[in-house]
């Protein structure tokens, strides 16, 4: 049987719950947080800064949205979400300019912020330095304050277990709105204590947030590319508030997840797109399982945002404490190989239990790539070659079509008020 290496004590799931103790097996111990090469992280963020895939992969985003809009019920749900969410996002964008509403209390307000966050329904809250290594190019001048309050809002359990499904998509979007509104309220509270607070709405990310959540000790990065937090794994929506308040930083924690995922591998086994690689690699200065975007997006587009990698994760389904206790008493992964954990249904393909996966032909994975305008240019080049050059009637047609499509691509609203893809850090 594995021996206990150390025990992590964390606040309970709800505000009123007692703390929980999570045993971490000695053989799962690695480092607190995530293994990193700081110099590589520094180099990549300086020379190859990140951009949101809502911009960098806009061509496939528009393509995916057209496919998603073919599902009429989901189209209405998405439109309703966008309509309700837009004021929340816009309100967040203004918060960086808002002045405090009282004089500073003059002492460390970490515990006040955490208590207020918990009372507003956030299941996890931690504080760390805002890490500009991850800020998107398009947001680099937006972030004003040095400290990041990392906030996770739990998504309802039952609908999430039916992923991929309409009920799961409904709860996905409504959790974002509830969280966004709670974040605005927390910002008001911090201002009432005499400090500034900039609310980064959860559908308007300034960068991938998971590295800061890991740094704040709220979980570790799972093989599925998501934050595995103690109580609900990745069944949560994340947001950040930056502030100039007097606060203390939390520390990263070794929950044993970095190594546990190497043993578990359920998400890699169950991913319909085979988009999750089994072995960790070094990517932009961190060691992780890099997701393959071009194998994931086509599945997400056709199967209600997919999310099977969230649904089948034992930490999501059972919580970290039962999973780690089970591992220590049996050496096994709780639920692995069972229909309850691993099974899922795809609307046009039927049910897939453990060991069963759908198959897709190569055509299934064909999709536009890059920025919208880059993709228009790619298509134009192909058409021109097929037309035999510009000095032909077909070449003239290709030029006219190119002009129309390019102006449409450049006119596209780059703002996203809906459910973006930035929540998944391993896309970038
Ligand atoms: S969302 Fe679906 S296709 Fe994408 S990585 Fe997760 S399980 Fe695979
Ligand atoms: S399913 Fe297993 S391997 Fe995948 S993220 Fe969850 S714990 Fe890690």
pLDDT digits (tens, 9 = 90+) for 336-369: 999 999 999 999 999 999 999 999 999 999 999 9
419 lines ligand 2 (CB under 6 A): no
Per residue in 285-297, pLDDT tens? 999 999 999 999 9
More confident residue, 400 or 412: 400
Nearest CA to ligand 1 atom 3: 296
Nearest CA to ligand 1 atom 6: 309
**pLDDT recorded at residue 373:** 86
Judge whether 8 and 253 are in contact, CB under 8 Å. yes
Q: Can you state the percent helix, strand and coil of the chain, rounding each to 5?
A: 45, 15, 40
Ligand nearest to the CA of 307: 1
Per residue in 307-327, pLDDT tens? 999 999 999 999 999 999 999
267 lines ligand 2 (CB under 6 A): yes
Judge whether 353 and 342 are in contact, CB under 8 Å. yes
Judge whether 109 and 195 are in contact, CB under 8 Å. yes
Closest ligand 1 atom to the C-alpha of 310?
6
Nearest CA to ligand 2 atom 1: 313
Token digits of residue 12: 């309970």
Per-residue pLDDT at 370 exceeds 50: yes
Ligand nearest to the CA of 334: 2
Ligand nearest to the CA of 272: 1
Per residue in 172-197, pLDDT tens? 999 999 999 999 999 999 999 999 99
Neighbours of 246 (CB within 10 A): 16
**pLDDT recorded at residue 395:** 82
Q: Which helix (H) or strand (E) holds 377?
A: helix 372-387
Average pLDDT, integer, range 371-389: 85
pLDDT category of residue 417 using cuts at 50, 70 and 90? very low
**pLDDT recorded at residue 1:** 87
Spatial CA neighbour of 387 closest among 375, 377, 399: 399
Distance CA 384, CA 273 (A): 33
Nearest CA to ligand 1 atom 1: 307
308 lines ligand 2 (CB under 6 A): no
Distance CA 325, CA 318 (A): 11
Q: How far is the CA of 21 from the centre of ligand 2 (A)?
A: 20
Per residue in 191-208, pLDDT tens? 999 999 999 999 899 999
Per residue in 129-157, pLDDT tens? 999 999 999 999 999 999 999 999 999 99
Token digits of residue 418: 């809906």
Q: How far is the CA of 22 from the centre of ligand 2 (A)?
A: 17
Question: What's the pTM value of the predicted model, to 2 decimals?
Answer: 0.93
Ligand nearest to the CA of 259: 2
Ligand nearest to the CA of 273: 1
Domain range for 144 is 1-428
Of 24, 28, 163, 223, the one to substitute when testing ligand 2's pocket (max ligand atoms within 8 A of C-beta) is 223
Per-residue pLDDT at 425 exceeds 50: no
**Three-point CA angle 116, 120, 125, nearest 5°:** 65
Number of domains in the chain: 1
Distance of CA 297 to the CA centre of its chain: 14
Of 296, 305, 365, the one to substitute when testing ligand 1's pocket (max ligand atoms within 8 A of C-beta) is 296
222 lines ligand 2 (CB under 6 A): yes
The residues with which 278 forms a beta bridge, in sequence order, are none
Cβ neighbors of 426 (< 8 A, separation 6 or more) are: 225, 283, 288, 289, 290, 291
Of 266, 280, 334, the one to substitute when testing ligand 2's pocket (max ligand atoms within 8 A of C-beta) is 266
């Amino acid at each position: 049987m594995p021996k206990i290496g150390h025990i992590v004590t964390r606040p309970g799931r709800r505000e009123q719950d007692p703390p929980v103790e999570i045993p971490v097996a000695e053989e799962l111990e690695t480092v607190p947080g995530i293994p990193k090469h700081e110099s590589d992280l520094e180099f990549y963020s300086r020379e190859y800064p990140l951009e949101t895939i809502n911009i960098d992969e806009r061509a496939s985003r528009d393509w995916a949205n057209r496919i998603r809009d073919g599902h009429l019920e989901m189209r209405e749900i998405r439109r309703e979400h966008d309509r309700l969410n837009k004021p929340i996002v816009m309100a967040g964008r203004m918060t960086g300019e808002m002045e405090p509403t009282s004089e500073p209390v003059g002492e460390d307000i970490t515990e006040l912020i955490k208590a207020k966050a918990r009372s507003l329904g956030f299941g996890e809250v931690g504080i760390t330095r805002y890490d500009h290594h991850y800020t998107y190019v398009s947001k680099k001048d937006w972030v004003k304050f040095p400290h990041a309050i990392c906030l996770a809002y739990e998504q309802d359990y039952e609908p999430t277990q039916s992923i991929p499904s309409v009920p799961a998509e409904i709860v996905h979007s409504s959790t974002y709105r509830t969280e966004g509104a709670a974040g605005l309220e927390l910002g008001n509270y911090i201002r009432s204590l005499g400090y500034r607070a900039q609310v980064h709405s959860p559908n308007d990310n300034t960068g991938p947030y998971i590295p800061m959540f890991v740094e704040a000790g709220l979980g570790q990065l799972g093989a599925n590319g998501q934050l595995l937090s103690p109580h609900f794994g990745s069944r949560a929506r994340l947001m950040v508030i930056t502030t100039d308040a007097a606060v203390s930083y939390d520390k990263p924690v070794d929950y044993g997840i970095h190594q546990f995922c190497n043993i578990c591998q359920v998400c890699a086994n169950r991913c319909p797109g085979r988009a999750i690689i089994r072995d960790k690699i070094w990517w932009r200065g961190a060691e992780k399982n890099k997701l393959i975007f071009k194998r994931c997006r086509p599945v997400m587009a056709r199967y209600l945002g997919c999310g099977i990698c969230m649904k089948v994760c034992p930490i999501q389904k059972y919580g970290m404490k039962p999973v780690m206790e089970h591992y220590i008493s049996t050496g096994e992964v709780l639920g692995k190989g069972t229909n309850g954990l691993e099974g899922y249904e795809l609307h046009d393909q039927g049910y897939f239990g453990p060991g069963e996966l759908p198959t897709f032909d190569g055509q299934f994975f064909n999709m536009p790539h890059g920025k919208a305008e880059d993709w228009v240019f790619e298509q134009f080049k192909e058409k021109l070659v097929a037309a035999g050059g510009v000095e032909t009637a077909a070449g003239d047609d290709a030029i006219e079509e190119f002009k129309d499509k390019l102006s449409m691509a450049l006119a596209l609203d780059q703002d996203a008020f809906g459910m973006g893809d930035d929540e998944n850090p391993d896309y970038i």
